[in-house]
Amino acid sequence: MEQTRVETGSPVIDRLLDGGFETDTVTTLYGPSGSGKTNICVISAAKTARLGKKVVYMDSEGGFSVERLKQIAPNDYKELLEKIIFLQPMNFEEQRNAFGKLSKLMDSDVGIVIVDTISMLYRLEIGKTDDVYAVNKELGIQLSYLNEITRRKNIPVLVTNQVYSSFEPGEGIKMVGGDILKYGSKCLIELQPGHRGIRKAILKKHRSIAEDREVMFRIINEGIEEFKG
Residue in 26, 59, 13 with CA at minimum distance from that of residue 207: 26
Question: One-letter amino acid identity for 97?
Answer: N
Q: What's the pLDDT score for residue 76?
A: 95
Contact 24, 150 (CB under 8 A): yes
pLDDT at 215: 95
pLDDT in tens, 168-215: 665 667 888 888 888 889 999 999 988 888 999 999 999 989 889 999
Report the distance separating Cα 160 and Cα 64, nearest Å: 13
How do residues 32-54 score in pLDDT, each as one tens digit?
A: 988 999 999 999 999 999 999 99
pLDDT of amino acid 173: 76
Q: What is the pLDDT of residue 168?
A: 64
Indicate yes or no: pTM above 0.85.
yes
Residue 118 per-residue DSSP state: S
Decide if pLDDT at 3 tops 70. no
Q: What is the rounded average pLDDT for all residues in the chain?
A: 91
Q: What is the pLDDT of residues 88-134, one digit of tens each?
A: 999 999 999 999 889 889 988 999 999 999 999 999 999 898 899 99
Contact between 27 and 156 under an 8 Å Cβ cutoff? The reply is yes
Q: Report the pLDDT value the prediction gives residue 177, as an integer from 0 to 100.
A: 81
Burial of residue 102 (CB within 10 Å: 0-12, 13-18, 19+) is buried
Q: How many domains does the chain have?
A: 1
Closest CA to 31 of 167, 196, 203: 203
Residue 10 has pLDDT above 90, yes or no: yes
Look up the CATH number of the domain holding residue 90: 3.40.50.300
Give the pLDDT confidence score for residue 2 in this predicted structure: 54
Surface-to-core class of residue 120, CB atoms within 10 Å of its CB (0-12 exposed, 13-18 middle, 19+ buried): buried
pLDDT in tens, 163-180: 887 666 656 678 888 888
* Separation of alpha carbons 228 and 176, rounded Å: 31
Q: Which domain holds residue 114?
A: 5-226
Half-sphere exposure of 134 (CA within 13 A, CB side): 8
pLDDT bin (cut points 50, 70, 90) of residue 5 is: very high
